[in-house]
């Protein structure tokens, strides 16, 4: 048991990321000209300093500094930093709302001329029940207060900051499903007086399947290079249901010509994706024309075509156009 617990503890991964950055905080900066006086003044009240409200990502926030640690969480000897959302920002919405944000805290170091940056990589949910998130142990007070380390400079000056990266609401999504069971998966089409047909192409009535309208297109004399030699048949999406840009519809079916005697039907499997560029699929060389009067035309010169659907995909989606001024949503990878 002891070895298992040790192994579990050794595999834990820290979610705290620390690094140096030259670029200053983009959401808010708090510069203090005499940190020791701040320590004294906060010790006489609630042991914290709250910044003015600042607006970022469409919401109002405060940066909160505990110069000697957040005693409410039993923390002593560390600089504690938090961000709090203004509850009035949440009251703009009628339904219970959660605002998700990534927080990066900054402490300027004059010696390095860079910002010590620390964050918990988890995205934090702000709500009426939880308006404040932050880090209890940003820097040890001994480290911070020693001027040799560069955080306190020029007679007690220092700078804190934060980036509040608000995650936008999910507006771009896609759900792909495959329907396999249909009440009536077959569609039959009878072409009468087949041998007398003059038109190059015959089209069936449209029929619904898998949430789309379809038509069968038959070339009695053959299409393109198959003209005069082959029967050509295609399954096409109806004009009212042609795929939109970037839309894909998968179809698995069996398309066949029926023998009027009830046996030896001729069929091909159809398995393909329909797109805006390819709204119709089938075979130019489906069946030799010479075979039709021998086997597949009935006594009344009628040809019967049938398709049975196995699978049709459906995609539900929602997309919004990208705002070129919108900042990228980035999440850092924690260090081990």
186 and 157 housed in the same domain: no
Question: At residue 296, what are phi and psi to the nearest 5 degrees?
Answer: -110, -15
- Domain end call among 114, 143, 166: 166
pLDDT digits (tens, 9 = 90+) for 154-167: 989 999 999 999 98
Position 93 pLDDT exceeds 80: no
pLDDT of residue 98: 84
Which tens digits make up the pLDDT trace of 32-64? 999 999 999 998 889 999 999 999 988 899 999
- Give the confidence band of 268 by pLDDT, cuts at 50, 70, 90: very high
For residues 82 and 152, what is the distance between their CA atoms, to the nearest angstrom?
Answer: 20
Same-domain check for residues 110 and 184: no
Residues 6+ apart with CB under 8 A from 315: 174, 175, 176, 177, 247, 248, 249
| Domain total in the chain | 2
Q: Nearest Cα to 138, choosing from 110, 169, 96, 103?
A: 103
pLDDT at 32: 96
Contact of 319 with 172, CB cutoff 8 Å = yes
Mean pLDDT of 290-305: 94
Same-domain status, 154 and 179 = no
| Domain assignment of residue 188, yes or no | yes
Asked if 109 and 37 sit in the same domain, the reply is yes
The number of CA neighbours under 13 Å toward the Cβ of 61 is 27
Instruction: Give the model's pLDDT for residue 332.
Output: 36
Q: Are residues 151 and 184 in the same domain?
A: no
Mean pLDDT of 173-194: 91
Is residue 131 included in any domain, yes or no?
yes
| Residue range 84-107: mean pLDDT, rounded | 82
Same-domain status, 110 and 188: no
Cβ proximity of 306 and 258 under 8 Å: yes
* pLDDT of residue 328 exceeding 50: no
74 and 93, same domain (yes or no):
yes
Q: What is the mean pLDDT of the chain?
A: 88
pLDDT tens, 130-140?
999 999 999 99
Asked if the model's pLDDT at residue 28 lies above 50, the reply is yes
Query: Residue 215: which domain range?
Result: 175-319
Please tell me whether residues 188 and 266 are part of one structural domain.
yes
| CATH number, domain with residue 55 | 2.60.210.10
Mean of pLDDT values over 14-24: 92
pTM > 0.75: yes or no: no
User: Do the domain assignments include residue 186?
Assistant: yes
Within a domain: 224: yes
């Amino acid at each position: 048991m002891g070895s298992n617990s040790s192994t579990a503890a050794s595999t834990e991964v820290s979610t705290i990321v620390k690094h140096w950055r030259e670029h200053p905080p983009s959401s808010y900066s708090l510069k203090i000209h005499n940190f020791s006086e701040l320590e004294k003044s906060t010790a006489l009240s609630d042991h914290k300093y709250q910044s003015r409200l600042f607006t970022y990502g469409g919401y109002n926030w405060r940066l909160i500094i505990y110069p000697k640690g957040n005693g409410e969480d039993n923390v002593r000897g560390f600089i504690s930093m938090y961000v709090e959302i203004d509850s009035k920002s949440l009251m703009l919405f009628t339904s219970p709302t959660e605002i998700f944000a990534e927080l990066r805290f900054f402490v300027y170091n004059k010696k390095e001329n860079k910002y010590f940056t620390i964050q918990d990589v988890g995205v934090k949910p702000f709500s009426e029940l939880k308006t404040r998130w932050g880090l209890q142990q940003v820097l040890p007070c001994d480290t911070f207060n020693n001027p040799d380390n560069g955080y306190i400079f020029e007679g007690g000056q220092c700078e804190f900051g934060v980036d509040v990266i608000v995650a936008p609401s999910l507006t771009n999504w896609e759900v792909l499903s495959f329907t396999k069971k249909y009440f009536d998966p077959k569609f039959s089409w009878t072409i009468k007086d087949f041998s007398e047909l003059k038109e190059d192409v015959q089209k069936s009535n449209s029929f619904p399947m898998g949430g789309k309208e379809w038509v069968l297109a038959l070339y009695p004399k053959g299409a393109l290079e198959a003209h005069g030699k082959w029967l050509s048949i295609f399954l096409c999406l109806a004009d009212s249901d042609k795929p939109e840009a970037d839309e894909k519809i998968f179809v698995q079916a069996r398309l066949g010509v029926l023998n009027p005697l009830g046996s030896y039907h001729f069929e091909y499997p159809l398995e393909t994706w329909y797109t805006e560029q390819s709204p119709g699929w089938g075979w130019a060389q489906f069946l030799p024309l010479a075979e039709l009067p021998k086997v597949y035309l009935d006594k009344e010169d009628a040809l019967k075509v049938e398709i049975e659907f196995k699978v049709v995909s459906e995609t539900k989606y929602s997309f919004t156009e990208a705002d070129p001024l919108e900042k990228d949503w980035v999440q850092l990878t924690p260090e081990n």
